[in-house]
Structure formats: structure tokens, C-alpha cells
Amino acid sequence: MAGAAAFRRSTRRVFRPGAYALSRALQHPERLLSSQASPDRGGVLGSELGLYPPERIRNFSIIAHVDHGKSTLADRLLELTGTIKKGHGQPQYLDKLQVERERGITVKAQTATMFYRHANNQLPASDQPDAPSYLLNLIDTPGHVDFSYEVSRSLAACQGALLVVDAAQGVQAQTIANFYLAFESNLSIIPIINKIDQPTADPDNVRAQLKRLFDIDPSEALLTSAKTGQGLSQVLPAVIERIPSPPGKCDSPVRMLLLDSYYDEYRGVICHVAVVDGALHKGDKIASAATGRTYEVLDVGIMHPELTPTGVLYTGQVGYVISGMRSTKEARIGDTLHQAKSTVEPLPGFKPARHMVFSGLYPADGSDFDALSHAIEKLTCNDASVSVTKETSTALGMGFRCGFLGLLHMDVFHQRLEQEHGAQVISTIPTVPYIFEYGDGSKVQVENPAALASNPGKRIAACWEPTVIATIIIPSEYVGPVIMLCSERRGEQQEYTFIDAQRALLKYRLPLREIIVDFYNELKSITSGYATFDYEDSEYQQSDLVKMDILLNGQPVDAMATIVHNQKAQRVGRELVEKLKKFIERQMFEITIQAAVGSKVIARETLSAMRKNVLAKCYGGDITRKKKLLEKQKEGKKRMKRVGSVDIPQEAFHELLKVSNSK
């Protein structure tokens, strides 16, 4: 247990202060409304919501490692309460984005309100028509490390969390991170061992892990299969019995926490809110504590699971508000919305999103800049966690420098640009925010390696790079290779313990740069897919960094510049140059591809001259076939970027992203 306690202390860092400060702020409830009989399932009117005082409300989240079954469990609970129809033909109801369905991950947290009759004895609720009804707000959360910001947001509105653990896989890296987020938010945690239908399920071992790592009493864990439905009937009773109701002052002026916001083309900005004190009615005037702006409440309601107008939301309830905000920039996540002209204490805010990965986004066809600009603007309306600034590259023309929470976040943004807005995008090698100090003592944060060149007269005196604390869980036979991988990536071991007889936990401090490209893939491949990995931001460390340029026929390509560790420059340079050689097509003249640090060339390849004749194999005189081939070639040319005199295909930029920066 001593090991577990030490581990817990060392893991506490993951807590997001805003999240648990809120639950502390909500500690002294005063209940105004008395509990009453309940409305029928499904039929929700504003007057009926008033029948749910805080003691009849439970706000909870589901947290888990990726793929342990959060969204499936959420679906089952929505079905069980009649909120959605059984077999509605669309699994993972709360995963609404196309990219979420395709990748099977949750990116944006969603909320749904359910109604559930519950009696305090062991009889099934169906045998007790007079059993009281409860209003349950289920807040689905993303599972991936990049989106832990969304997790902390969701937790701030909850008093409890279902901690879902796969019965076969057991506790994984993200189970640990999410547990501590919930624990430090003072949430009541209900452990759920899911997927017990699997032949390899070992619930006893998972119980033992929960005890060892989190000191959770094994008898508290519920055993379920979200797939077969086994054990699911225990979940909602446990939610009602074990999770406290939301505290808040029913008779105070309205005060609510802004949990999330998105832009709807027809209705404007829709804010998800948790009402902490008082009641909010349609027509009320509300103000934002952050901006001081006032708004009129045009529509208010619950997510049941679609937007369902109720005209009112009471203390402890979670729902949506439409108030004529023009852009999500006005709807700051974590802001307090309150009754206009009243002085209220703002609720503790959230930790602002930190951008850890930056990349340039350029239209594949230069003339599509306006279309890309429009697409990015629309997408950031719904994803305020992306930062966007315009930038210009000599190689790629006009584009944008975007900051993301992590690499998956970047990928998802990219995919959404293409899928939802049809944008064809070239993105540059991702980079992390470095800090450089010049000889004159001035410091700059560098988010674009090419920007370093704009200060040629200044000598760089020192540089710092962001680091992370990574938690890796692996079967013990893989410890050796993983330790090697981490030290190759300039990692510093912080902890090495066993979580059970078969699995080890490693903690490393690693430069963020070393994990943003390819680390996870490599970790997965050397551990046959068994490793799980999570990380949290840590401090900056001083480092020996250099800017590496890529030159084509002697011309630096600004969009391909990158910052690397001095000792790795040669290897990375060679790899980049070899990769480019494969992707740049031969042209009518010789092309030299070089990697250089300052004026020193560290890698070089030459591509000999050739003319590609697409008609070479087209014997005979079929003119339509010839035309088709020429058309195809023309189409191909469109996807080329001309740098100086060299055409670079779009794929070359994509491939560069994959180049390991540290092998």
C-alpha cells in the first residue's frame, strides 16, 4: 500500500484546480422545492422540471480509458430510461461527430438528461408505480489524453463519476489519470468493471487492482456487460444511492457555469450550462462574468437527448441556453453566467486550454485560401480550444498557424476540415512551443520554426522545451524495450512499480517534442499493442536545440523547417531527406535535397533529371485515352506545390509528418 500511496501522491499533479474548487463551492445546499410525484418518462414540460428539487437530481460522468465502453454504457443507460429507443440503429448515441464514429473515440463531451423511477428497496421499479422519479444528467467524456481538458470541464458539473474498467484489460494509463481527476474533484466514484462477457474477463484481478491502486473497496465495484446488458440494472440505483445531489441555493439569483458551447447555423450559439443557484427562465436577462455583456434568454431547455425546450431550468439542473451570442468566442468555457444587474461571485473557472502542438495549415490549392479560412472559422466556432493565427510561407503561400491540445486533436481537426467542409489541406511538421533566449536577454516563444530565421542578427543564448510526465502500463516482459525507447527519446525515469503480478507501471519525464510524432505507435509496436500511455504537462527544461532547414536546389523551404535536438539533427536530417527523395517526382532538371543546420549541410540526396511522359505507354491513336491521361496529369499537377522551380506533391508534406523525430 505504501507504494500505492506514493504513487497517488506523485500522480496528484493531474488534477485540474477549477474542477474541484467548484464542488467545494457547492457544499452547503439549501433546498427550496419539495419533492413531489414525478412526470412520466419522456414528457417534459417546464412545470414538470420544477418537480425535481436538487435532492431528486444526480449529475454524473462516465470516465474510462479509451475503448473500455463508456459510450456503449451511456447508450444502454439512455435506452434503459427510455430516453432513446432500443436499437435506434446508431450505436454510441453521444458520439455525434462523424470523426468520432469513424475513429470510435469521443472528442466532444455531450450531455443527456434522463428520467428514472427509483425506490429505495430491492423490488424492481416497474413493480412500484409510485416510486419517485429522478432527473439524471449523464455527461459523456472523451477518453483520449488530448481531451482531458474536456474531461475536467465535465467533471466540474458533476457530483459523481462512473469509473469504467475493462474486465479483461484492467486498469490502464488513462484509468489512472481520470480516476485522480475525479478524486480530486471530490466526486463519488462508482467503479464499474465492464465487458464481463468476454472470455478473458478477470473481474477479481481488476478488483484487486482497484484496491491496490486507488484503495477502492472491492465490494463497491459493479460488474456489467454493456454489450449483453448483464448487470446494468444495478447502475442507476447505485447512481441515486451513492452520488450526492447537487448542492446550491434555490432562492438566490441565478448563477450558472458555462460547460460547453457550439455554434448552430440556425439558432446561433448554444451554451451548455449547469445551474448552480437559483432558476433561469426564458426572457430573463443574464450577464457574463468574464465579459460583462448582457443577454436575453431566448430559449432554455434540457438535452433529452436532443434539445428539448422547457422554458426554465432550476437549481442543480443541466441544460442549454440560447441567448443571442453571435460567436462562441463570447461563450467562454468556465465562465459564470448570472442574473444581470446582480453582483454574484463568479464560480471558479477552468484551467484554460494549453496549446501543446502547433502546425501550419495551408490550402492544397493556393487559390482556395478563402475557402480554407471560412472552413477553419466555422470549425473553431465549435472547437474553441484551437488557436488560429494567419501566417505566410514562401513555399505554401497564405495559411494559418494553429495550436492544438495534442496530436490526436490536430488529426481530428484536420479530418473534420476535410470531411465536414471539403477542405484540401497541407499541414506542416508539428512543433511544440519552444522558448528561446537571445544574447540580449530577450525571450520569445517559438511556435513556428521558420520564424526563428526572422532574427538572424540575434545570437541564441539558451533554449527551453516543454516536458511531460508520461505514465506507461505494460506487461512486465516488455519493460526492457520500453525503458530503451524512453531513454532514446531523452526520457528520465521517475518511477517503476508493479501494479499486479503481470504488469508494470513506468513513469518518465520526456520532452514533449519526443512524443508528439510517432512515440505512441512505436510504443505500441514494441509491446505488441499492449502498452497504454497517458501524459500530463510538466515544466520546461533547458535543452540544446537547433533549427534545421530543408533546402531544395539550395533554396530553404520555410514550411519544412523544424527544431530538433542538436545530437539528433543528423539522423533526423537524413531521414527527412531520404523521405523527400521518395516523394518528389523526377523533373526535367537535377534536384538536390539537403538538410542544414545554420550554414552546415548535414544530409544530402540528389534526384536525377527525367521527363515523365504519361503517353509513353499509350500506343496507337486512341485520342480519348490520351486525353484522359493528360487530364489526370493536369489534376496531379494541381496537387503539387511549386517551391522555387521544384514541384512538391502534397503527399510529401503528409509523409514528413510521419518522420520520427528521434529514432
Ligand X SMILES: Nc1nc2c(ncn2[C@@H]2O[C@H](COP(=O)(O)OP(=O)(O)OP(=O)(O)O)[C@@H](O)[C@H]2O)c(=O)[nH]1
Annotation: binding site for GTP: 64-71, 140-144, 194-197
Alpha-carbon gap, residue 381 to 394, rounded angstroms: 29
The grid coordinates listed for 144 are: 483520449
Nearer to ligand X, 18 or 143 (CB): 143
Nearer to ligand X, 38 or 106 (CB): 106
Nearer to ligand X, 109 or 486 (CB): 109
Q: Is 104 in the site for ligand X (CB under 6 A)?
A: yes
3-state secondary structure of 243: coil
Beta partners for residue 113, in sequence order: 137
Q: Is 409 in the site for ligand X (CB under 6 A)?
A: no
Nearer to ligand X, 92 or 555 (CB): 92
Single out the residue of 515, 531, 430 nearest to residue 468, CA to CA.
515
The grid coordinates listed for 581 are: 527523395
Q: Find the DSSP H helices in 266-402.
A: 369-382
The grid coordinates listed for 116 are: 428514472
CA atoms within 13 A on the CB side of 216: 27
Beta partners for residue 431, in sequence order: 358
- Window contacting ligand X (CB under 6 A); options: 221-229, 270-278, 432-440, 623-631: 221-229
From residue 228, how far is each of 67, 192, 196 by CA, in Å?
16, 15, 9
Which x/- pattern, by CB under 6 A, does the window 105-124 give for ligand X? xx------------------
Q: Is 92 in the site for ligand X (CB under 6 A)?
A: yes
DSSP 8-state secondary structure symbol assigned to residue 431: B
The grid coordinates listed for 13 are: 499533479
3-state secondary structure of 122: coil
Q: Is 225 in the site for ligand X (CB under 6 A)?
A: yes
Omega of the bond prior to 305 within 30 degrees of 0, cis?
yes
3-state secondary structure of 509: strand
Specify whether the CB–CB gap between 93 and 75 falls below 8 A: yes
Specify whether the CB–CB gap between 473 and 503 falls below 8 A: yes
- Pick the binder of ligand X from 29, 54, 69, 349 (CB under 6 A): 69
* Residue 523 dihedral angles phi and psi, to the nearest 5°: -60, -45
Q: Is 191 in the site for ligand X (CB under 6 A)?
A: no
- Window contacting ligand X (CB under 6 A); options: 50-58, 103-111, 291-299, 472-480: 103-111
Task: Tell me the chain's radius of gyration from C-alpha atoms.
Answer: 28
- Window contacting ligand X (CB under 6 A); options: 60-68, 183-191, 213-221, 373-381: 60-68
Alpha-carbon gap, residue 344 to 156, rounded angstroms: 19
Specify whether the CB–CB gap between 302 and 308 falls below 8 A: yes
Alpha-carbon gap, residue 70 to 83, rounded angstroms: 17
Q: C-beta of 198: minimal distance to ligand X in Å?
A: 5
Q: C-beta of 117: minimal distance to ligand X in Å?
A: 25
Specify the pairing of strand 57-64 against strand 133-140.
parallel
Q: Is 188 in the site for ligand X (CB under 6 A)?
A: no
Q: Which of residues 465-484 bind ligand X (CB under 6 A)?
A: none
How big is the chain, counted in residues? 663
Nearer to ligand X, 64 or 646 (CB): 64
Q: Is 11 in the site for ligand X (CB under 6 A)?
A: no
- Window contacting ligand X (CB under 6 A); options: 63-71, 361-369, 543-551, 599-607: 63-71
Nearer to ligand X, 87 or 441 (CB): 87
Q: C-beta of 64: minimal distance to ligand X in Å?
A: 5
- Window contacting ligand X (CB under 6 A); options: 65-73, 184-192, 327-335, 578-586: 65-73
Name the region of 172 (left: φ>0; alpha: ψ -120 to 50; beta: rest).
beta
Which x/- pattern, by CB under 6 A, does the window 130-169 give for ligand X? -------------x--------------------------
Nearer to ligand X, 148 or 594 (CB): 148
Q: Which of residues 18-47 bind ligand X (CB under 6 A)?
A: none
Count of chain residues binding ligand X (CB under 6 A): 20
- Pick the binder of ligand X from 23, 61, 71, 111 (CB under 6 A): 71
Q: Is 195 in the site for ligand X (CB under 6 A)?
A: yes
* Residue 451 dihedral angles phi and psi, to the nearest 5°: -65, -20
Question: String of b and e for 164-198 (b: at least 16 CB within 10 Å)?
Answer: bbbbbbbbbbbbbbbbbbbbbbbbbbbbbbbbbee
Beta partners for residue 63, in sequence order: 163
Q: Is 382 in the site for ligand X (CB under 6 A)?
A: no
Q: C-beta of 408: minimal distance to ligand X in Å?
A: 10
Nearer to ligand X, 23 or 71 (CB): 71
Q: Is 66 in the site for ligand X (CB under 6 A)?
A: yes
- Pick the binder of ligand X from 35, 36, 198, 415 (CB under 6 A): 198
The grid coordinates listed for 312 are: 426554465
- Pick the binder of ligand X from 139, 222, 226, 347 (CB under 6 A): 226
Q: Is 197 in the site for ligand X (CB under 6 A)?
A: yes
Q: C-beta of 23: minimal distance to ligand X in Å?
A: 23
- Pick the binder of ligand X from 14, 33, 63, 64 (CB under 6 A): 64
Q: C-beta of 366: minimal distance to ligand X in Å?
A: 36
Q: C-beta of 195: minimal distance to ligand X in Å?
A: 4
Q: Is 439 in the site for ligand X (CB under 6 A)?
A: no
Residue numbers at the binding site for ligand X (CB under 6 A): 64, 66-72, 92, 104-106, 143, 194-195, 197-198, 225-227
